[in-house]
């Protein structure tokens, strides 16, 4: 099975109904990809819901979307990989956000080499290819 990991930016834009996300989703589906995300991305989305005051319709939409995806967890292997990735990038003097690093490490640990995102930080992470939409 080939997976693509959907990052927070994609998931939020998808929930907002942005056409570019729909087009990208349909293209990747036609190419045979299965869709996943991470518990880190779920946290970031729920954090946005909380910041906006837990609007019932938004919370339900997030839960419905996440229920249709495979959601990978942070485990010891991914935590260790994240530490290595983060430390290597930090040494360059151009660190990336910890959440992005965690999401990438979780995806890589689960055999996924592609992440759909508009976040350019993923271009700095070895082992993962960012798919822009």
| pLDDT band for position 54 (cuts 50, 70, 90) | confident
Mean pLDDT on 62-89: 97
Sheet holding 114-116, edge to edge: 70-72, 34-38, 3-6, 114-116, 129-131
Q: Which pLDDT value is given to residue 74? A: 97
- In terms of residue numbers, what domain contains 108? 3-131
Q: Please state, rounded to an integer, the average pLDDT across all residues of the chain.
A: 95
What pLDDT, on a 0 to 100 scale, did the predictor assign at position 53? 85
The CATH number of the domain holding residue 7 is 3.40.50.1010
CB neighbour list of residue 56: distance below 8 Å, 6 or more residues apart? none
Average pLDDT over residues 83-109: 95
Number of structural domains (the chain) is 1
The residue-averaged pLDDT of 63-74 equals 97
């Amino acid at each position: 099975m080939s997976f693509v990991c959907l990052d927070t930016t994609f998931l939020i834009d998808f929930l907002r109904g942005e056409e570019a996300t729909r087009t990208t989703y349909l293209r990747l589906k036609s190419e045979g990809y299965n869709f996943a995300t991470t518990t880190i991305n779920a946290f970031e989305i729920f954090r946005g819901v909380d910041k906006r005051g837990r609007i019932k319709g938004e919370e339900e939409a997030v839960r419905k979307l996440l229920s249709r995806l495979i959601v990978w967890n942070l485990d010891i292997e991914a935590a260790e990989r994240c530490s290595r990735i983060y430390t290597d990038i930090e040494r360059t003097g151009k660190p990336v956000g910890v959440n992005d690093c965690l999401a990438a490490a979780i995806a890589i640990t689960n055999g996924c080499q592609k992440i759909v995102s508009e976040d350019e930080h993923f271009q700095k992470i070895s082992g993962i290819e960012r798919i822009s939409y």
